[in-house]
Amino acid sequence: MFSILRDLLRFNVEFLVGFVLTALIFLFAAAHFFAPYPDTAIYLLPPDMPPSAEFWLGTTSRGQDVFWQMSAAIWNTMTFGLVVMILSRIIALAVGMLSGYLGGKADEVLMTINDTLIALPNIPILLLVYFVMRDQMTWPLLAVTAALLGWNYDARLIRSVTLSLRNREFTRHAVFAGMSVPQVLVRQHLPYVMPVVFFTAMNNLIWAIGLEVTLSVLGFSDVNRPTVGGMIYWANQHQAAVSGIWWWLVFPIVAVVLLFLGLFLLAISINEYIDPRSRLSRMGG
């Protein structure tokens, strides 16, 4: 594992850039543990201060330090993305593999649920959940809802991989070697499915972060907890763009663009490593 990381860094520029970018943003986000102010406190500092030696990225109209706010916001947004990613991967794996391997009735039922979820639009459902929950809306609840909406395409992908594996000779051989269904799925099929999980995970993470930012910008989340979207929401509420408090808007947007770019570069380079065809063509070049 370590040597793979080393070689990726050495041979793949996209990975190097993506890795450095993501690592820097991660370090920046982790810095909020050492923040001098609590991240939910407001009107603690003089409001609307431009970037200076004292406040590196300025302060907001609500009297918060933009630097430390952003640090906490990115941390929270990334946490949200990771939770959604992990939960939805678990659902996608379970549904996709069982559906593909068992076939028949189980497959029919699971895929009907899957296709129904694909047909449903995501944002209206999330808004509906928000309107029902109102003040009880917490970020873990939002994460679970998002995870329940974010697995279906990938479950289909995993199902199609498992479906082709089911007819391979080694699966029949495993059955005649007395392996049980969980053993076949975990020992025989999971290694083939993992690349799909891995590379959809990156896309899912990007999707989840995008979803969180969108909902927060619109104010449909717990807006008192600092998130990247939440910062933009408050900046809009205080008409930061009109009143010339550009640092309140520009820095969160730059941060989220950099985070997206870093994750995207990681996703494509890891995908290239996983896909032997592109690895081979690189070997040739």
Positions in the binding site for another protein (CB under 8 A)? 3-4, 6-8, 11, 168-170, 172-179, 183, 187-188, 191-192, 273, 279, 282-285
Q: Which of 135, 169 has the CB closer to another protein?
A: 169
In the complex, what is the shortest distance from the CB of residue 249 to another protein, in angstroms, rounded to a whole number? Answer: 43
In the complex, what is the shortest distance from the CB of residue 183 to another protein, in angstroms, rounded to a whole number? Answer: 7
Q: Which of 11, 56 has the CB closer to another protein?
A: 11
Residues 6+ apart with CB under 8 A from 192: 161, 165
Residues 6+ apart with CB under 8 A from 262: 17, 18, 19, 20, 21, 22, 25
In the complex, what is the shortest distance from the CB of residue 272 to another protein, in angstroms, rounded to a whole number? Answer: 11
Alpha helices in the chain (DSSP H): 2-11, 13-30, 66-102, 104-119, 122-133, 139-149, 152-166, 169-176, 181-183, 190-218, 228-237, 246-274, 276-284
Q: Which of 39, 107 has the CB closer to another protein?
A: 107
Q: Which of 38, 276 has the CB closer to another protein?
A: 276
Q: Which of 131, 170 has the CB closer to another protein?
A: 170
Query: Do residues 249 and 255 make contact, with C-beta atoms less than 8 angstroms apart?
Result: no
In the complex, what is the shortest distance from the CB of residue 182 to another protein, in angstroms, rounded to a whole number? Answer: 12
SS3 59: strand
Residues 6+ apart with CB under 8 A from 271: 199, 202
Q: Which of 43, 170 has the CB closer to another protein?
A: 170
In the complex, what is the shortest distance from the CB of residue 274 to another protein, in angstroms, rounded to a whole number? Answer: 12
In the complex, what is the shortest distance from the CB of residue 5 to another protein, in angstroms, rounded to a whole number? Answer: 11
Q: Which of 166, 225 has the CB closer to another protein?
A: 166
Nearest to 79 by CA among 194, 190, 205: 205
Burial class (CB in 10 A: 0-12, 13-18, 19+), 229: buried
Q: Which of 103, 219 has the CB closer to another protein?
A: 103
Query: Do residues 196 and 157 make contact, with C-beta atoms less than 8 angstroms apart?
Result: yes
In the complex, what is the shortest distance from the CB of residue 188 to another protein, in angstroms, rounded to a whole number? Answer: 5
How many whole angstroms separate alpha carbon 147 and alpha carbon 194? 19
In the complex, what is the shortest distance from the CB of residue 90 to another protein, in angstroms, rounded to a whole number? Answer: 21
- 8-state DSSP, 65: B
Residues 6+ apart with CB under 8 A from 188: 165, 170, 171, 174, 179
How many whole angstroms separate alpha carbon 142 and alpha carbon 130? 8
